[in-house]
Structure 1
Amino acid sequence: MAAERPALAGSELYDVATPEIEVESSEIVFTGRVWDVRRDTFAYGDGTLKREYTDHTGAVAVLALDDAERMLLIQQYRHPIAARDWEIPAGLMDVAGESPLAGAQRELAEEADLVATEWAVLSDFVMTPGGSTEAMRIYLARGLSDADEVFARTGEEADIRRAWVPLDEVVTAVLERRVQNPAVVVGALTAQAARSRGWSTLAPADALWERREWVRGTRS
Structure 2
Amino acid sequence: MEPVKRLKRELIHKGAVVDYYADTVEVGGEVAVWDFVHHNGAAAVLPVDNEGKILMVRQYRNALDRFTLEIPAGKLDTPDEPTLECATRELEEETGYKAGKIEYLLSINTNVAIFDENIDVYLATDLTKGEMHLDPMEEINVERYELSELQDMIFKGELKDSKTVAAINAYAVMLYKNMIR
Cα 1:152/1:131, change in 2 over 3 Å: closer
Q: Which has the higher strand share?
A: 2
CA distance in 2, matches of 1:32, 1:41: 21
Give the letter aligned to residue 57 of structure 2.
I
Q: Percent identity?
A: 25
Corresponding residue of 2:169: 189
| Higher deviation after alignment, 113-122 or 76-85 | 113-122
CA distance in 1, matches of 2:107, 2:145: 23
Corresponding residue of 2:123: 140
TM-score w.r.t. structure 2 length? 0.88
Q: Shift in Å at residue 86 of structure 1?
A: 0.3
The partner residue of 1:151 within 108, 133, 140 is: 133
**1:45 correspondence with 2:28:** yes
The partner residue of 2:73 within 90, 114, 123 is: 90
Q: Shift in Å at residue 40 of structure 1?
A: 1.9
3-state SS of the aligned residue for 1:197?
Answer: helix
Query: Which aligned pairs between 1:32-111 and structure 2 lie closer than 5 A?
Result: 32-111=15-94
Q: Shift in Å at residue 199 of structure 1?
A: 8.3
Q: Shift in Å at residue 66 of structure 1?
A: 1.4
CA distance in 1, matches of 2:16, 2:158: 31
Larger radius of gyration: 1
Give 5+ residue unaligned stretches, structure 1: 1-19, 201-220
Give the letter aligned to residue 129 of structure 2.
D
CA distance in 2, matches of 1:131, 1:152: 30
3-state SS of the aligned residue for 2:178?
Answer: coil
| Higher deviation after alignment, 101-110 or 91-100 | 91-100
**Conserved in 1, the CA contact under 8 Å of 2:108 and 2:163?**
no
CA distance in 1, matches of 2:132, 2:64: 29
**How big is the alpha-carbon RMSD for the aligned residues of Structure 1 and Structure 2?**
2.0
**Conserved in 1, the CA contact under 8 Å of 2:104 and 2:123?**
yes
CA distance in 1, matches of 2:106, 2:96: 23
Q: Deviations over 1:90-122 (max 9, x none)?
A: 011232531011011111111111111212221
Q: Shift in Å at residue 31 of structure 1?
A: 1.7
Q: Shift in Å at residue 152 of structure 1?
A: 4.4
Q: Deviations over 1:140-185 (max 9, x none)?
A: 11111124x5424321x2x311111111211111111122222221
3-state SS of the aligned residue for 1:81?
Answer: coil
3-state SS of the aligned residue for 2:63?
Answer: helix
Q: Deviations over 1:180-205 (max 9, x none)?
A: 222221111111111100189xxxxx
CA distance in 1, matches of 2:30, 2:106: 36
**Conserved in 1, the CA contact under 8 Å of 2:110 and 2:163?**
no
TM-score w.r.t. structure 1 length? 0.74
Corresponding residue of 1:5: none
